[in-house]
Amino acid sequence: MMHQVTKLHYHQKSKLLDVLFNDDISASFSAEILRVLSPSAEVRGHGKPVLVSHKRDVGIKQILPVGLYAVKLVFDDGHNTGIYSWPYLRQLHENRETLWQDYLERLQAANSNREATLSFKQL
């Protein structure tokens, strides 16, 4: 069964994106997890995933529909090339624990972290 997304709601203060699927399963993703696990070629690294760090404070600026099957998320750090298909969002929801743990382990192995490198305010 193709899981369609029926509703998306972004909470700017908490930086959480709520996703409701057509089978009444709902998921909530932090902007950070969506950013560091972006399906973009830039992050996917054409086969070898690129480790994206220092994104704890990242937010979503814009959500753009892509046909009836995906959304493009524009992040406040300038990243805007990820197309999040409904199946990708569902997969992210179902495997979130493993994916997040793997991400944290890769950060640690690279001697990096989630904190912002420097704080700046966009005008």
* Beta strands at 70-75 and 5-11: parallel, antiparallel or unpaired: unpaired
Taking the whole predicted model, whether its pTM rises above 0.85 is answered as yes
Helices (H), 1-123: 31-36, 41-44, 86-94, 96-109
Q: What is the pLDDT of residue 64?
A: 97
Report all structural domains of the chain as residue ranges with CATH numbers, in order of start.
5-109 (3.30.2020.30)
pLDDT of residue 121: 58
pLDDT at 123 over 60: no
Q: Is the pLDDT of residue 120 over 60?
A: no
| Type of residue at 42 | E
Q: How far is the C-alpha of 39 from the C-alpha of 33, rounded, in Å?
A: 11
Please compute, for residue 65, the number of CA atoms within 13 A of its CA located in the half-sphere on the CB side.
Answer: 8
Is residue 96 within 8 A of residue 34, CB to CB? The reply is no
Would you say residue 43 has pLDDT above 70? no
Residue 118's pLDDT is what?
A: 60
Share the mean pLDDT of the chain.
90
**pLDDT-derived band at 66, boundaries 50, 70, 90:** very high
Residue 112 has pLDDT above 80, yes or no: yes
